[in-house]
Chain A
Amino acid sequence: MADTLYLITLFPLLGFLINGLLGRWLSEKQSGLVASGAILGSFLVSAQLLLALIALPEGERLFTQNLFAWIPVGELSIPIGYRFDPLSAVMTLVVSGVGLLIHIYSIGYMHADPGIRRYFAFLNLFTFMMLSLVLADNLVLMFLGWEGVGLCSYLLIGFWFEDEAKARAGMKAFIVNRIGDAGFIIAMILLYDQFGTLSISKIAAAAPGAQLAQGFFTAVTLLMFLGATGKSAQIPLYVWLPDAMAGPTPVSALIHAATMVTAGVYLIARNSVLFSLAPATMSIVAFIGILTALYAATIAITQNDIKKVLAYSTISQLGYMFTAVGVGAFSAGIFHLMTHAFFKGLLFLGAGSVIHSMNGEQDMGRMGGLKNHMPTTHWTMLIGVLAIAGIPGLSGFFSKDEILWGAFSQHEGFSWIWLLGVVTAGLTAFYMFRLFFRTFYGDPVWEGTQKPHESPSVMTLPLVLLAFLSIFGGYVGIPAALGGSNPFHHFLEPVLASYPVHSTAAPHTTYRLELLLMLVSTLVVAGGIYYAYRVYIQQPSLAEDLAKRLGLLYRLSFNKYFVDEIYDRLIIKPFRMLATVTWEWFDVQIVDGAVNGSGHAVARMSGIVRKIQNGLIQHYASIILLGVIFILIYIYFD
Chain B
Amino acid sequence: MVVPLYHVLAFAGLLFTIGVLGVLFRRSAIIVFMSVEIMLNAVNLAFIAFSRYHGDVNGQVFVFFIMTLAAAEVAVGLAIIISLYRNLRTSDISEIRLMKH
Q: List chain A positions with a Cβ less than 8 A from chain B.
A: 610, 613-618, 621-622, 625
Contact = CB atoms under 8 A, between A and B. Distances in A.
29 contacts: A610-B101, A613-B99, A613-B100, A613-B101, A614-B97, A614-B100, A614-B101, A615-B96, A615-B97, A615-B98, A615-B99, A615-B100, A615-B101, A616-B93, A616-B94, A616-B97, A617-B32, A617-B93, A617-B96, A618-B23, A618-B24, A618-B25, A618-B32, A618-B93, A618-B94, A621-B24, A622-B24, A625-B20, A625-B24
Interface residues of B, number: 13
B39 to A, nearest CB: 11
A621 B25 CA distance: 10
Contacts of A617: 32, 93, 96
A618 B23 CA distance: 7
Contacts of B93: 616-618
A160 to B, nearest CB: 55
Contacts of B23: 618, 621
Interface in B18-71: 20, 23-25, 32
B21 to A, nearest CB: 10
B6 to A, nearest CB: 19
A614 B95 CA distance: 11
A623 to B, nearest CB: 11
Contacts of B20: 625
Contacts of A615: 96-101
Contacts of B94: 616, 618
Nearest to A622: B24
Nearest to A613: B101
A610 B99 CA distance: 12
Name, among B93, B94, B101, the residue most crowded by chain A CB atoms within 10 Å (CB to CB): B101
A625 B21 CA distance: 10
Contacts of A618: 23-25, 32, 93-94
Interface string B77-92: 0000000000000000
Nearest to A618: B24
Contacts of B96: 615, 617
Contacts of A610: 101
Nearest to B101: A613
Contacts of A614: 97, 100-101
Nearest to B99: A615
A618 B98 CA distance: 14
A393 B96 CA distance: 100
A621 B22 CA distance: 11
Contacts of A625: 20, 24
Nearest to B27: A618
A610 B100 CA distance: 9
A622 B20 CA distance: 9
A313 B101 CA distance: 73
